[in-house]
Amino acid sequence: MAFVTKITSQQKNAERYNIYLDYGKGEEFGFGVDEHTLIKFGLAKGKELSDLDIAEITTGDQIRKAYNSALDYLSYRMRSTKEIKQQLEKKEFQPETIQEVLHQLDESGLTNDQQFADAYTRTQWQAGKGPDVIKQELFQKGIAQTQIEQALSLYGHEDQLDAAMVHAEKFLRKNHAISTIQVKQKLEQLLVRKGYSFNLVSEVLRSVDYGNNQNEEREALAKQAAKVSSKYNNGQDYANRQKMKQYLYRKGFPIELIDEYLENPDQFIQS
């Protein structure tokens, strides 16, 4: 048994208190508690505490600390159960304490992985991410497969197509000096990285107005040729002509247009 000999406010946190005990050998520090625990257990000078009482008090106090830490973490945005668990583990709370806090949060409706998955999906598709990327991110956040599928059902085909077209239009505005074939290849790679399915990417590629009319394609070829004109002596001899032809072909230009350029580069539009 022990007796409470003194209760003082902590210097770094006035909302917490240090409890001093005497086990019969003189006063010593016992444990710290917050005001809620202080009142709940009626802690006061002279109160007698058994070992079981002390274990109950300190366990309850740890749960409250972890719970408040979780609430602070949740105050910034919604979190998945796994995210909260990982955050409390970083704070070095015991597994049994974390489990109790997660249970309390679930009981109070402060955590709900399905609601989290739904909200996360909406936010990320508005940010331009495709379903494959969102699915992977939700999996990493500990969301169950069935919950992921339900959340992604909110992200319909038309929504995905609209979001992918925004990426495509932005990409096309920035890529005029490459061939149409290269534009298609790079756009396809971009949309796949963003998390869109191959079927949807194919639909976008068929729908996009690439804007590369004949003059623009000729101008793009001329720009690419100008980059290596000195290296290949502007194709003035056979060997350099073949090297330039191979370079331009790798850039996606049709062989007929390349031959036309090499025959009379001055007729091509250059900027």
Name the pTM for this structure.
Answer: 0.71
Write down the pLDDT at residue 271. Answer: 45
16-68, pLDDT tens digit by residue? 999 999 998 999 999 999 988 999 999 999 999 999 999 999 999 999 999 99
Residue 122 to residue 110: CA distance in whole angstroms: 19
- What CATH number matches the domain at 113-152, 3.30.1490, 1.10.730, 1.10.3470, 1.10.10? 1.10.10
| pLDDT for 176 | 67
Residue 91 DSSP label: T
Handedness of CA 61, 65, 68, 70 (dihedral sign): negative
Q: For the CA atoms of the chain, what is the radius of gyration?
A: 33
Rounded Cα–Cα distance for residues 265 and 124 (Å) = 47
Pick the CATH number of 157-207 from 1.10.760, 1.10.10, 1.10.3470, 2.30.30: 1.10.10
The per-residue pLDDT for 67 is 96
Contact yes or no for 67/74 (Cβ under 8 A): no
User: 113-152 and 157-207: same fold?
Assistant: yes
Q: What is the C-alpha to C-alpha distance for residues 93 and 81, in angstroms, rounded to an integer?
A: 15
List the domain boundaries for the chain. 113-152, 157-207, 214-267
Report the pLDDT value the prediction gives residue 198, as an integer from 0 to 100. Answer: 94
Q: List Cα–Cα distances, 94 to 5, 79, 89, 133, 268, in angstroms.
A: 29, 20, 8, 33, 72
Give the residues of the chain that fall short of pLDDT 50: 271
pLDDT confidence of residue 221:
77
Cα separation of 83 and 89, whole Å? 10
d(CA 12, CA 17): 10
What is the reported pLDDT for 159? 92
Q: What is the pLDDT of residue 169?
A: 85
∠ Cα 139 144 148 (to 5°): 70
Give the closest residue to 161 by CA, choosing from 112, 102, 207: 207
